[in-house]
Amino acid sequence: MTETITIGVAGSGTMGTGIAIVAARSGHPTIVYDVDQGRAEAAVGQMKAFFAKSVQRGKLTQAQVDEIMGRVVATGDIAAMAPCGLVVEAIFEELEVKGRLFAALDRVCGPDKLFASNTSTLSITEIAARSGRDDRFVGMHFCLPAQLMKLVEMSPGLATSPESFERAWKICDAMGQRPVKTQDAPGFILNCFLVPFNNDAIRLVEEGVAEPAEIDAAIKGALGYAMGPMELLDLVGLDTQVLLCEALHGVTGEPRASCPPLLRRMVAARRLRRKTKRGFLSYETTAIFGA
């Protein structure tokens, strides 16, 4: 049985918050780090709101929630990540920014600590090369929303040691997730399909084929998806989809992965995501985990 370790989550957006929920819920002390202390504290507030709904639905008791949240700390001080046995990075898809974060974490965390990136399109090997510990570095791509979806794509870099990958796999499994092994390839399994698929849906809107809500209704009704592509884009963030397009198209040249012009216009207009109440669809709440 995997020992209980402190898990650090670097990044307090939708994905980072979901990963922190998974870590804390599974019994691990959890540290949520963001350069902005306020954003880290807001993420903890979102965690509390998610668990409050679990109490309302009878899935957890308030005592259980209090115990879970008692394991969670928000911080804006990277030095507070020192006790973490595993740090999972969940910031935006820019290689140099991720590299600088991991270089800073390397100066703080002991040499036996594992690093992981939640990247969905960038090369694990390239990020690991900037981390100062490429043999103790893995890809851990959680599916959105992480607190509901069990699948995690686990990807070793070229220098990842078998021992480090096995340790990370066991931690993932102990968190109640379902790891699958992929190679360090653009988009891994899911985004190799999903980024072009979502772009295709955007192009249907762009070409006037159907309204966003109708596209979602068709996909959910006919294909059995729990969430339509427009809902998913609004949850991920349209600005994030731009970065995903640029990363995947940049390394593959796949035409369907290129960024649709409508997507760039919507980002310019700040119609970004569910949290801003307006993306492809409109929302009454800014909560990142809807009712």
Active site residues per annotation:
120, 141, 153, 191
φ, ψ (nearest 5 deg) of residue 120:
-110, -10
Please state the length of the chain: 291
Q: Which of 279, 256, 235 is nearest to 145 (CA)?
A: 235
Tokens of 263: 């997507």
Contact 81, 33 (CB under 8 A): yes
Tokens of 166: 């096995």
Residue-wise burial string across 116-145, b where 16 or more C-beta atoms lie within 10 A, e elsewhere: bbbbbbbbbbbbbbbbbbbebbbbbbbbbb
The residue assigned the tokens 């699948």 is 151
Cα(92)–Cα(230) distance, integer angstroms = 20
Cα(268)–Cα(257) distance, integer angstroms = 20
The residue assigned the tokens 């995690």 is 152
